[in-house]
Amino acid sequence: MKKAILSIQIFLDNWLMNGILLVFAALVAVLLHFTISEYVKYSERLNLARDYGLQNQILVGNMLPTDDINRISERLAEALEEVIQLPGVARYAPASFGITAFDGNRGSFIPLECVDEEYYGKTKYALTEGFWPNAPNEVVLTDEAMALYSIGDIIEVTFYLSDADYNVISYESKIEIVGFVDESVAIWEMVPNVFLPGLDDITTTLKEYADNYSPLDERIVFGYIIEPTTASGERIELIYQGGPYLVTVDSDTDPQDIKPQLIEIFGGGRVHTGPEMIERYKVEHNEEYLQLIRFAFISIVLTMSSLFAAVFLQLRKKRLEMTVYYICGTSWAQSLWFFTGSYYPLIATGSLIGSAIYFKLSPHLIRTDPMTVVVILVFLLAVCSIQVLPSYFSARRIHPTEWIRKD
């Protein structure tokens, strides 16, 4: 009990230095969070392109101001045989498929984009709750729909779509809500409105998309479905009209080799390879990327040097306090650990406080994985250990009287 009281007393005597270390750890944690979140923001669309397989695809669509949208859409559909016969072409299909479900009980329209792996690749958007659909009629909705639905809800709906002659076809069915998509993440919107599109021009966020086309107060919510089926389990054949198409090439084929032949079919200004769009994104964000690298380097150097200084100065300044434990009957190794061990709860607490401050400051600005909190905590503790543990083991090899004599 006497030793415990003494430890607390010495800890409280150093309250100012301990407080400074706590605040410093919190500030460094916030700084590291912003650095990581900026990297996540920059790389999000690159990861999206990788999962989608965009590096092996070519986008063909109506991008020119003079285009007749209906005629171009017809031409895209009519060109199937011409395109699929080109050497190296594995697939030619619309960039996206969709169907609308109507929930009569709530009066809600639910436009659903179909995300079958055949044409959506390995793309899976981040969820706030639940899991990504993996069976027919399983649905994830934008997280603003949580005001209307809950995970596990099985809803009776009517599916609506139009055939090639614009006749409306309907099917009675049921869908199950299995998750909610984070509305801040980047999603595909394959409708480029510029002459030379990059990743920024064929992506958006679910929040921006929903705000532009379907405010919740109009009872319209967006979502994703693997495959729609009727109430009897029959697959609904989707008919897509309008919008761009995607040409998928074999893995050993360079999309650039196919592009000239596609230009001959569709004309210039309408054909864009995936690698070109990815490269444009990197060029457009090159300065941002370089700033991120510089910021990350400065953050790491500041963290390492400042923690080294803070821990080292305290160890040098307060060495005599370690001898107090020894005089009270504690072994020299334990007395050293009583002092140096206090850094770990301070650093850990400061790191967690910094993480909480970051999430409070930017709850909807930049999405980060919650695991980032653990990574930053471990990093700060590791940096602390680099200075504390060598000093600790060095002091253990010195006799207490010699340690005191040096001071």
395: helix, coil or strand?
helix
The alpha carbons of the chain give a radius of gyration, in whole angstroms, of 30
Residues pairing with 180 in the sheet: 129, 141
pLDDT at 177: 95
Please indicate, yes or no, whether the overall pTM of this predicted structure exceeds 0.75: no
274: helix, coil or strand?
helix
pLDDT at 313: 53
pLDDT at 191: 75
Q: Which helix (H) or strand (E) holds 368?
A: none
pLDDT at 384: 77
pLDDT at 153: 92
Q: What is the pLDDT along the chain (407 residues), one digit of tens a residue?
A: 555 665 566 656 666 667 777 888 888 888 888 878 778 888 888 888 898 889 999 998 765 555 555 566 667 777 888 888 889 988 888 887 788 899 988 888 898 888 887 777 788 888 889 999 988 999 999 888 888 899 999 999 999 887 666 678 888 999 999 999 988 888 888 877 777 888 888 888 877 776 666 555 567 888 999 889 988 888 887 766 566 888 999 988 899 999 999 888 887 778 899 999 999 988 888 877 777 777 777 766 766 666 655 555 555 555 556 666 666 666 666 666 766 777 788 888 988 998 888 888 775 555 556 788 888 888 888 877 776 777 677 766 766 666 555 55
pLDDT at 173: 92
110: helix, coil or strand?
strand
pLDDT at 366: 56
Half-sphere exposure of residue 235, counting CA atoms within 13 Å on the CB side? 8
pLDDT at 73: 64
What are the residue ranges spanned by the domains of the chain? 2-45+288-406, 97-239
pLDDT at 381: 85
Question: Helix, strand, coil % (nearest 5) of the chain?
Answer: 55, 20, 30
Contact 96, 113 (CB under 8 A): yes
What tokens appear for 57 in the block?
């695809």
